[in-house]
Amino acid sequence: MDADVLVIGAGLAGLNAARLLERDGCQVVVVDAADAVGGRVRTDLVDGFRVDRGFQVLNPAYPALREAVDLDRLALRRFGRGVAVRTSDGLRVLADPLRAPRLAGGPAGAVLADPGAAWALLRWVAPSLAGRRAIEASPEAGLFDSLDAAGVRGPLREQVLEPFLAGVLGDAEGVTSAHFVRWLLRWFVLGTPGLPAQGLAAVPAQLAQGLRAPVRLGVAVDGLERSAGGWTARTGGGTITSRAVVVAAGPVASAGLLGRRPPAMRGLATWWFAPEESPTRSRFLHVDGLSGGPVVNTAVVSNAQPSYAPAGRHLVQASTLLAGRTPVEAEVRAHLGRIYGRPATDWPLVSSQEIPDALPAIPPGSWRTPPSDDSDGSDGLVLAGDGTDASIQGALASGQAAAERVRGRLGS
């Protein structure tokens, strides 16, 4: 027997499961087919710029994150608590009135909100503040249908909420579970997202560094078979036997390994530019309330986390959806020019990425937290990942849940 537990996949879910199982005294082997840990959470260094694999943010309010890593070591720097919106009246900022009162009032409030719309939205968001049980007790539907039923209409929805959530969810059609969206908004209310000094890859790196045995990289598992006392995993370099297996290779790869139908995924493309001058000093995420182009959100990430760019340089991200035709660079540049109010045609391109499997789709009725495949792990085979809770919180929480189910199996 090579190990008590084999963990397939060194993303956040697999690493967190391995951490907790090792803490319980299990001998754990972690393998991953990639050349580095992290799964879909990776950071590349390009000409001195830190470029995450797709624009992602880290919310320090996530309870599973706070339990799993040392947040102080990440040296997190935060974005502004609000959103900058391009409207027909210019670029307006909607900020949290409790944390940025100087920015919260004025023209933006008059242009984008009226008391009726604001109260309707607050009533719709209210279950988020009360917690999971209140969310589960609220009516379930697709996002847009749920907002319609709650009377959330007008510029506040059309120019702020819908563009913002399109980028967060990878969904411009509003068909994502309203329960799941409320759950995500809970964390935006409780915490202010930011970026680690070394990029998002610092999170899985810290988890991996805490393991007793290093992750075996470049090891792809081709198949799993029941064997005496446990499981046998076939790899290109031989077999690995274990009493239990945590499959955490990502939603699509895990489904293939288990012979299941792969889940629907949502795709995103991210463009990273390095203008000579920053188009704004703002740390806010920017969206287009006029729906005039492919960019669903953009930000000068170096304003929030200066370590993402060399000294004196600037880094701008622009995210687009991968649904139908992929936008070309000229369209992205033109849209950025309209959002920021200054040309982006001459901004040097640092990197561009197409990530077709960026996020699992979460349709109505499918949200579960922690994510689960409805297996009790009685056969020693457990699936982990963010398939029913597409977030960093969901991935880490699924690792916790997987470790608990394996612990029950090994303790029997």
Q: Can you tell me the mean pLDDT for 80-105?
A: 75
Decide if 1 contacts 241 (C-beta within 8 A).
Answer: yes
d(C-alpha 149, C-alpha 139), whole Å:
10
Q: Residue 204: CB partners within 8 Å, gap ≥ 6?
A: 10, 11, 12, 15, 37, 38, 39, 41
Residue-level pLDDT at 122: 93
3-state DSSP percent of the chain in helix, strand and coil, to 5: 35, 25, 40
Cβ within 8 Å of residue 178, ≥6 positions away: 138, 139, 140, 141, 142, 143, 145, 146, 147, 364
Domains of the chain, residue spans: 3-42+201-264+364-411, 77-196+266-360
Does 96 have pLDDT greater than 80?
no
Give the whole-number percent of the chain exceeding pLDDT 90: 85
Q: How many CB atoms lie within 10 A of CB 77?
A: 18
Residue type, 92: R
Would the pLDDT of 103 be above 60? no
Q: Is there a shared CATH topology between the 3-42+201-264+364-411 domain and the 77-196+266-360 domain? A: no
pLDDT value at 377 more than 80? no
Three-class DSSP category at 376? coil
Architecture of domain 77-196+266-360 in CATH? Alpha-Beta Complex (3.90)
Q: Name which CATH class applies to 3-42+201-264+364-411.
A: alpha beta
DSSP result, 67-124: HHS-HHHHT-EEPPSEEEEEETTEEEEEE-TTT-HHHHSTHHHHHH--HHHHHHHHHH
Helix 162-169 to helix 178-190 angle, to the nearest 10 degrees?
A: 100
Element (H, E) at 183: helix 178-190
Q: Tell me how many degrees the CA angle 50-52-55 measures, rounded to the nearest 5.
A: 125
Residue pLDDT, tens place only, 171-215: 999 999 999 999 999 999 999 999 999 999 999 999 999 999 999
What dihedral do alpha carbons 293, 336, 100, 126 form, nearest 10°? 20
**Rounded to two decimals, what is the model's pTM?**
0.94
So what's the pLDDT on residue 411? 77
Chain-centre distance of CA 251, in angstroms? Answer: 14
In sequence order, the 6+-apart residues with CB closer than 8 A to the CB of 47 are 350
| pLDDT, mean over the chain | 92
